[in-house]
Amino acid sequence: MASLLGEVLFEVSGQGAAPNKDFYQFVITKTEVIWRWWKISLRSEYRTTRPGEMKQPHIYYLHDNQLQHQVKVVFGPHTLQYSKDLCEGNFDYLVRLPDRLILRILSLLELEDVEKLRNTSQKLRRLCDSDESWEQRVRAYCDTVTAEMESVAKDVGWRNMFFTNKLQLQKQISRRRLKQESAG
């Protein structure tokens, strides 16, 4: 399963909290943690300061309270906890899968299971709520999806289309036809 992982497991960069203007990058690879910083200041004593970099194996990072404190201050407690989990070997394989593959998996699940899965991460929530996911579900449940149905889905969304009963859908399509005929 570890072969599914790329060399870089996690990477984040950004500016330190105000009033700090320094720039930081935090990278976790399969074997090490990399902490980079760039001092950004108008003060003359810092103008010649070069960017810095610290690399250390996962096990050292897990015991380096000073670096962990810096990660927490710059990127927050959630990033700190996630980085520690990665260094302990706790990988989140599901969210690392390509979107296309996750959407395929979602199409095979029951609605109750999709609802439970969507509550596990931001990425899965985004995919479970996506039009692509609901379009797959509509196409799986309907015998045929006509061009008129696709047009209605573009207006109301595939999720709404899924939960619209057949009679309401037929009324919407009929109204759309009448509107097109009277306009044309």
Quick: pLDDT tens for 131-164.
Answer: 999 998 888 887 788 888 888 888 888 888 888 7
Q: What was the pLDDT predicted at 85?
A: 93
**Residue 4 has what pLDDT?**
57
pLDDT tens per residue, range 38-84: 988 777 776 778 899 999 999 999 999 999 999 999 999 999 999 99
Percent of the chain with pLDDT over 90: 46
> DSSP labels for the chain?
-GGGS-SEEEEEEEEPSTT---EEEEEEESSEEEEEEE---SSGGGTTPPPEEEEEEHHHHHH-HHHHHHHHHHH-HHHHHHHHHHHTT---HHHHS-HHHHHHHHHTS-HHHHHHHHTS-HHHHHHHTSHHHHHHHHHHHSS---HHHHHHHHHH-HHHHHHS-HHHHHHHHHHHHHHHHHH-
Percentage above 70 pLDDT, the chain = 96
pLDDT for position 81:
94
- Whether 90 shows a pLDDT value over 80: the answer reads yes
Domain boundaries, the chain: 2-91, 97-183
- What is the pLDDT at residue 3? 56
182 or 9: whose pLDDT is higher? 9
pTM of the predicted structure, to 2 decimals: 0.58
